[in-house]
């Protein structure tokens, strides 16, 4: 028999976070804790369908005027407009001056918004088909940032300083130095809030310093906003950086995801907000984005976008959603405050105040790979090799066990 034409295809390694979840499910130990996957969990360790989402899903099911016709290529118009509105604010000068054009497009979650934005920038930013424009991502960052821009055709992916391992906080000076030395027109991927994986965000004053350098050096900000409202419980606070950059006159992209703040993990709902100098520029950009979308997925799905649009467009539903989001954010903040390591429990070597100082779903614990391995193999606590944990995996029932296990790992394993 002739060899398969696919015989030379190598086997790709599994995606680490999904492999971690699979290992957790196969573990029969009663003490096991999953701190890996990036999804919200209740204090009972269960997924949570937001009450407002259940209500809107029922409304959609009962609406006989809806059908399954194609959407516009750029997506559901009311979703696009409302998504951009919550990112930029009701009083956004960019929206009033029609420099946003009611939003950009509905996509298969924020990752696709990133990819379409990357495809556009490669084709039309800093020259035509300029694959040599440097793209900077933070060290560390969400692993997909590198691959998204590489697959879009960019050849020069660089890193900028972000996490100071010794201080377990932001390396602001290193970040600013990297921006000062970056070639003009370089693209910088910025986390709007709840930095993944560190949970460490710049303060407003630090964001102002970052914006000043980027403006002077003619650097392009591409925000990734996956946790608006989920990080602090406030939509406005979590969008502060994006809105400040817009107020400073930046043209920018902002990829939004509604997986976390709506709990729509498998509906894949995202938006790319484009802010330009004027309406004419934005319309030309959108015409090219429409062309890219047409050859990528042709037409977007409607269900998730309709859930979000219906919720954001109704004052009553919008208020209910904000309450649901605050419920999630408050539980995460509670777990941070009650984790014994951060409240004077076991006298674990090192400093642990970063647990409460960080924000959002994730915390960068500072555990090294050997300590992580000990946690997984000996204590059945599943976390990423980087030491990142999902704070939502902590509950009032497992807090003490996790804290004592971290103490044991740090004191036994160097």
Residues 142, 163, 240, 352: which is the catalytic one? 142
Distance of alpha carbon 372 from alpha carbon 375, whole angstroms: 5
> Residue 43: how many CB atoms within 10 A of its CB?
14
CA pair distance 50, 387, nearest whole angstrom: 29
- At CA 147, angle to CA 371 and CA 165, rounded to 5? 35
Number of H helices, E strands in the chain: 17, 13
- Strand partners for 21: none
Concerning whether 412 is annotated as a catalytic residue, the answer is no
- Joined tokens for residue 79: 């979703």
Sign of CA dihedral 337, 19, 225, 178: positive
SS3 per residue for 133-198: CCEEEEECCCCHHHHHHHHCCCCCEEEEECEECCCCEECHHHHHHHHHHCCCCCEEEEECCCCCCC
Give the Cα-Cα-Cα angle 91, 92, 94 (nearest 5 degrees).
145
The one catalytic residue among 171, 201, 224, 238: 224
Cβ atoms of 38 and 386 closer than 8 Å: no
Confirm if 191 and 224 have CB atoms less than 8 A apart.
yes
Q: Tell me how crowded residue 184 is: count the other CB atoms within 10 A of its CB.
A: 11
Active site residue 240: no
Catalytic residue check, 352: no
Catalytic position from the list 260, 321, 322, 379: 260
Q: How far apart are CA 307 and CA 349, in angstroms?
A: 47
Task: Point out the residues that are catalytic.
Answer: 142, 224, 260
């Amino acid at each position: 028999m002739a060899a398969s034409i696919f015989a030379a295809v190598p086997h790709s390694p599994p995606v680490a976070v999904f492999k971690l979840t699979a290992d957790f499910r196969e573990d029969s130990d009663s003490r096991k804790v999953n701190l890996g996957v990036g999804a919200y969990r209740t204090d009972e360790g269960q997924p949570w369908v937001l009450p407002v989402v259940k209500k809107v899903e029922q409304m959609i099911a009962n609406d006989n005027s809806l059908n399954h016709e194609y959407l516009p290529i750029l997506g559901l118009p009311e979703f696009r407009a409302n998504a951009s509105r919550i990112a930029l604010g009701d009083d956004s000068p960019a929206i009033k001056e029609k420099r946003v054009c009611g939003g950009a497009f509905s996509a298969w979650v924020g990752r696709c918004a990133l990819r379409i934005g990357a495809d556009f920038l490669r084709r039309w930013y800093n020259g035509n088909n300029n694959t040599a424009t440097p793209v900077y991502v933070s060290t560390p960052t969400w692993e997909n940032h590198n691959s998204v821009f590489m697959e879009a055709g960019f050849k020069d992916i660089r890193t900028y300083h972000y996490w100071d391992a010794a201080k377990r906080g932001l390396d602001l000076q290193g970040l600013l130095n990297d921006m000062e030395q970056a070639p003009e027109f370089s693209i910088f991927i910025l986390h709007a809030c709840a930095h993944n994986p560190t949970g460490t965000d710049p303060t407003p004053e630090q964001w102002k310093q970052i914006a000043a350098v980027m403006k002077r050096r003619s650097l392009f900000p591409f925000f990734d906003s996956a946790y608006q409202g989920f990080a602090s419980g406030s939509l406005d606070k979590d969008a502060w950086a994006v809105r400040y950059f817009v107020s400073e006159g930046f043209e920018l992209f902002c990829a939004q995801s509604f997986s976390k703040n709506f709990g729509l993990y498998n509906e894949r709902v995202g938006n790319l907000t484009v802010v330009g100098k004027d309406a004419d520029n934005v319309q030309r950009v959108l015409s090219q984005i429409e062309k890219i979308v047409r050859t990528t997925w042709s037409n977007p799905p409607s269900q998730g976008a309709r859930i979000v649009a219906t919720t954001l467009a109704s004052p009553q539903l919008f208020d209910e959603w904000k309450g649901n989001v605050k419920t999630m954010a408050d539980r995460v903040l509670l777990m941070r405050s009650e984790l014994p390591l951060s409240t004077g429990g076991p006298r674990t070597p090192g400093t642990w105040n970063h647990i409460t100082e960080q924000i959002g779903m994730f915390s960068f614990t500072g555990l090294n790979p050997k300590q992580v391995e000990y946690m997984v193999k000996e204590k059945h606590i599943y976390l990423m090799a980087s030491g990142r944990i999902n704070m939502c995996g902590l509950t009032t029932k497992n807090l003490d066990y996790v804290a004592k296990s971290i103490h044991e790992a740090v004191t036994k394993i160097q």
